[in-house]
């Protein structure tokens, strides 16, 4: 049988780094092929070469047995190569259907029913008429997946597609992918989730520092052995001894119903939660279910009307109508999911970015910048959180996503919060950095800080949180102790079935003995 795609000795050299060094890779029809590696291992560059975004400096690429030079993504699509990007390539001002129509033949009108059919078939819940700018990050990824599926490609490249799906969605996607593979379609599956790769993939090619460090049949490997191939040592795992006795209540949200100004944002219905000192409270859920609305109200970026100020309380004080500065003064800090442009000013260096939330903590005096203090603060944060960068004068946009996230999390932790709200703490962060961030959160919890984590990654929430809520269509489930639930129940709740969470977590009170 002819290989679908055969790469021989592919190399790509950038001024600062050798991204790909003599990579060999073969994908057969009907094969689900994993490309495994940390951020920076060269996966994305390799995919860009296959998809015609970047030209290789050396090596040959054979498509269906013929040496081919893929000139552009359009060329790649014409050949039958589809790609689902990790970083979205959607136009914000267009609707879902218009975005998809851009990459296909046919009018928006004729494509809309196909989108609806495909979204049902793959369990990818997306409204074709919605404008992309009002979609959450997770929903945007669903649009990307749909767009690729609609082009009926021979080879599909998927760049970490599962990070935004609930567990049921993941298994549905896997069923779809397996079905596609059985029809002879090849799939290149990029991920760092080892369990998924072991479940789904036939072959794995492991990259480290731009080189192939091994190929394996994932089913015959353990997660540990795959991780060792990938990072060259054992996978770090956050140490979590569980929280101590119940601490004092720090943050309460009571019966919060709120319709945001943006008509496409999800309204909240009767949301209630209690966050205590010394605990990590997790909020699970597929993004786009009201997490952004809730987090905006908690951080103060969105203010409640005065009449509703009491619906959010910090240490008993009514907080709902105040802004971020007032809340920060009371010890509430927040790490947003968007790092560039929200958590940090891209053009500013790290020293200036430390001022963004640190100006109230001595980095500005009498209205003037404390330049020495800013530099000191940022280099301390860089050291303490192992931020790899060019120092305090490095522009935020020059850092990789993971390192910038370490800096932002580090900045907020260094500002000594009493309550810390973190949205998607490890999104797009490589496994090493993700483990470090989780460990920092656990350490902070052990020091008595109340932490709220909003995440789509269940694995992460189970690893670090003491109690869990699930968010679905603007409603928040009751909290349940992480130890007394499991991925299945939470997964069910992520699709709207809160029933199993509503039964008491501990059967301590049994009325009819």
Partner 1 sequence: MRNIYLEPRTERSAFAPFLVSMLAVCLTIIAGSGLFLIYGKSPIAGFHAIFIEPLQSSYGIGEILLKLGPFLLIAQGLAIGFRARVWNIGAEGQLIIGAILASVVAIRFDGSTSSLLLPGMVLAGALGGMGWAGIAAWLRTRYNANEILVTFMLSSIALQILYYLVTGPLRDPQGFNFPQSITFSAAATFPILIENTRVNASLIIALVVTVLAWVFMQRSLMGYKLVVGGLAPHAARYAGFGEKRAIWLALLIGGAAAGIAGVGEVAGPLGMLQRTVSPGYGFSAIIVAFLGGLHPIGIVFSSLLMALIHVGGDFARLSVGLPSAVTDIFQGLLLTFYLASSLLLTHRLRLRKPDAVLTAEAAE
- Token pair, residue 7, equals 């790469």
What is the spatial distance between Cα 138 and Cα 158, in angstroms, rounded to a whole number? 15
Residue 337 vs residues 53, 344, 405, 487: alpha-carbon distances, Å: 27, 11, 9, 23
With binding defined as CB under 8 A, does residue 248 bind partner 1? no
* Interface map 440-459 toward partner 1 (x if CB under 8 A): --------------------
Whichever of 290 and 300 has its CB closer to partner 1, that residue is 300
Tell me which residues in 162-191 interact with partner 1 (CB under 8 A): none
Lay out the site mask for partner 1 across 388-407 (x = CB under 8 A, - = otherwise): -------x--x-x-------
DSSP per-residue codes, 240-277: -----S---EEEEEEEEEE--SSTTSPPEEEEEEEEET
Residue reference for tokens 């019966």: 255
Nearest to 464 by CA among 409, 508, 382: 409
Q: Does 91 bind partner 1 (CB under 8 A)?
A: no
Binding residue for partner 1, selected from 324, 331, 432, 478, defined by CB under 8 A: 324
Candidates 128-136, 189-197, 220-228, 341-349 — which segment interacts with partner 1 by CB under 8 A? Answer: 341-349
Tokens of 409: 């999390």
Task: Give the integer Cα–Cα distance in Å for 169 and 359.
Answer: 43
Contact window for partner 1 (CB under 8 A) among 44-52, 58-66, 200-208, 245-253: 44-52
User: Based on C-alpha coordinates, what's the Rg of the chain?
Assistant: 24
**Closest by Cα among 357, 359, 298 to 323:** 298
What pairs with residue 395 in β-bridges? Answer: 349
User: DSSP letter string over 7-26?
Assistant: EEEEEEE-SS-EEEEEEEEE
351 binding partner 1? (CB under 8 A): no
Shortest Å distance, C-beta 391 to partner 1: 14
**H-assigned helices in 220-323:** 223-231, 291-299
Out of 344, 435, 444, 494, name the contact with partner 1 by CB under 8 A. Answer: 344
* Residue 469 interacts with partner 1 (CB under 8 A): yes or no: no
- Which residues, in sequence order, are CB contacts of 245 under 8 Å at separation 6+? none
Give the other-Cβ count within 10 Å of 245's Cβ: 6
Each residue 192-211 as x (binds partner 1 by CB under 8 A) or -, in order, gives ------------------x-
User: β-pairing, 155-159 with 467-472?
Assistant: unpaired
At 357, which helix (H) or strand (E)? helix 350-358
Question: C-beta of 309: minimal distance to partner 1 in Å?
Answer: 16
DSSP secondary structure, 385-440, as one string: TT--SS-TTSBGGGS-HHHHHHHHHHHHHHT--SEEEEESTTTT--HHHHHHHHHH
- 355 with 363: CB under 8 angstroms? yes
Which CB sits closer to partner 1, 207 or 461? 207
Supply the minimum distance, in Å, between the C-beta of residue 35 and partner 1: 13
Contact between 71 and partner 1 per CB under 8 A: yes
Nearest-angstrom CA–CA distance, 375 and 199: 47
Taking CB under 8 A as the criterion, the residue among 293, 354, 357, 405 binding partner 1 is 357
Q: Does 487 engage in binding with partner 1 (CB under 8 A)?
A: no
Stretch of residues binding partner 1 (CB under 8 A), selected from 2-10, 40-48, 308-316, 488-496: 40-48
* Residues near 378 by beta carbon (within 8 Å), at least 6 away in sequence: 350, 351, 353, 354, 392, 407, 411
Site for partner 1 (CB under 8 A): which residue of 334, 377, 385, 407?
Answer: 334
Residue closer to partner 1, measured from CB, 165 or 207: 207
The region of 251-259, 264-272, 295-303, 439-447 touching partner 1 under the rule CB under 8 A is 295-303
Q: Is 263 exposed, middle or buried (0-12, 13-18, 19+ CB in 10 A)?
A: exposed
Per CB under 8 A, which region of 110-118, 366-374, 460-468, 482-490 contacts partner 1? 366-374
Q: Please select the residue that binds partner 1; options are 214, 331, 346, 478, rule is CB under 8 A.
A: 346
Residue 78 in contact with partner 1, rule: CB under 8 A: no
Q: Give yes or no for residue 14 binding partner 1 (CB under 8 A).
A: yes
The binder of partner 1 chosen from 2, 9, 24, 55 (CB under 8 A): 55
- Which of 336, 410, 474, 491 touches partner 1 by CB under 8 A? 336
Looking at residues 216 to 235 of the shown chain, list those that interact with partner 1 (rule: CB under 8 A): none
Total Cβ atoms within 10 A of residue 395: 17
Q: How many residues bind partner 1 (CB under 8 A)?
A: 55
147 binds partner 1 (CB under 8 A): no
Considering the rule CB under 8 A, would residue 364 count as an interface residue with partner 1? Answer: yes
The interface region with partner 1, picked from 215-223, 239-247, 361-369, 448-456 by CB under 8 A, is 361-369
The residues of the shown chain that bind partner 1, judged by CB under 8 A, are: 12, 14, 16-20, 39-40, 42-45, 48, 52-55, 69, 71-72, 210, 299-301, 323-328, 334, 336, 338, 341-348, 352, 355-357, 359, 364, 367-369, 371, 395, 398, 400
């Amino acid at each position: 049988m002819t290989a679908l795609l055969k790469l021989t000795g592919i190399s790509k050299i950038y001024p600062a780094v050798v991204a790909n060094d003599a990579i060999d890779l073969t994908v057969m029809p009907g094969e689900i092929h994993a490309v495994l590696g940390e951020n920076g291992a060269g996966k994305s560059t390799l995919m860009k070469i296959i998809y015609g975004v970047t030209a290789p400096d050396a090596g040959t690429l054979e498509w269906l047995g013929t040496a081919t030079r893929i000139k552009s993504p359009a060329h790649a699509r014409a050949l039958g190569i589809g790609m689902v990007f990790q970083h979205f390539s959607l136009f914000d001002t267009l609707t879902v259907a218009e975005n998809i129509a851009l990459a296909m033949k046919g009018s928006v009108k004729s494509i809309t029913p196909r989108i609806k059919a495909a979204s049902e078939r793959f369990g990818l819940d997306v409204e074709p008429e919605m404008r992309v700018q009002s979609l959450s990050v997770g929903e945007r990824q669903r649009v990307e997946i749909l767009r690729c599926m609609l082009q009926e490609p021979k080879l599909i490249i998927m760049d970490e597609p599962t990070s935004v799906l609930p567990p049921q969605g993941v298994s549905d996607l896997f069923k779809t992918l397996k079905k596609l593979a059985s029809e002879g379609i090849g799939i290149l599956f990029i991920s760092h989730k080892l369990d998924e790769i072991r479940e789904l993939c036939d072959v794995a090619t492991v990259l480290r520092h731009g080189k192939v460090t091994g190929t394996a049949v994932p089913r015959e490997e353990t997660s540990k052995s795959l991780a060792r191939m990938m990072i060259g040592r054992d996978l770090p795992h956050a140490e979590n001894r569980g929280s101590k006795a119940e601490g004092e209540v720090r943050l309460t949200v009571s019966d919060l119903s709120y319709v945001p100004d943006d008509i496409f944002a999800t309204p909240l219905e009767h949301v209630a939660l209690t966050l205590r000192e010394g605990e990590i409270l997790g909020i699970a859920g597929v993004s786009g279910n009201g997490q952004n609305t809730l987090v905006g109200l908690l951080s103060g970026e969105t203010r409640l009307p005065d009449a509703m100020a009491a619906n959010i309380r910090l240490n008993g004080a009514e907080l709902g109508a105040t802004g971020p500065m007032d809340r920060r003064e009371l010890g509430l800090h927040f790490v947003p999911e968007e790092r560039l442009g929200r958590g940090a000013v891209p053009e500013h260096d790290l020293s200036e970015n430390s001022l963004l939330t640190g100006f109230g903590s001595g980095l500005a005096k009498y209205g003037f910048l404390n330049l020495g203090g800013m530099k000191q603060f940022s280099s301390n944060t860089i050291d303490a959180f192992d931020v790899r960068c060019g120092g305090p004068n490095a522009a935020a946009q020059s850092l990789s996503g993971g390192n910038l996230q370490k800096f932002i999390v580090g900045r907020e932790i260094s500002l000594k919060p009493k309550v810390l709200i973190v949205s998607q703490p490890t999104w797009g962060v490589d496994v090493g950095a993700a483990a470090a961030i989780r460990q920092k959160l656990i350490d902070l919890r052990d020091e008595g800080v109340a932490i709220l984590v909003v995440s789509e990654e269940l694995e992460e929430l189970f690893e670090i949180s003491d109690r869990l809520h699930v968010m679905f269509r603007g409603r928040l489930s009751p909290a349940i102790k992480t130890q007394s639930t499991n991925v299945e129940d939470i997964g069910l709740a992520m699709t709207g079935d809160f029933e199993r969470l509503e039964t008491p977590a501990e059967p301590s009170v049994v009325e009819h003995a």
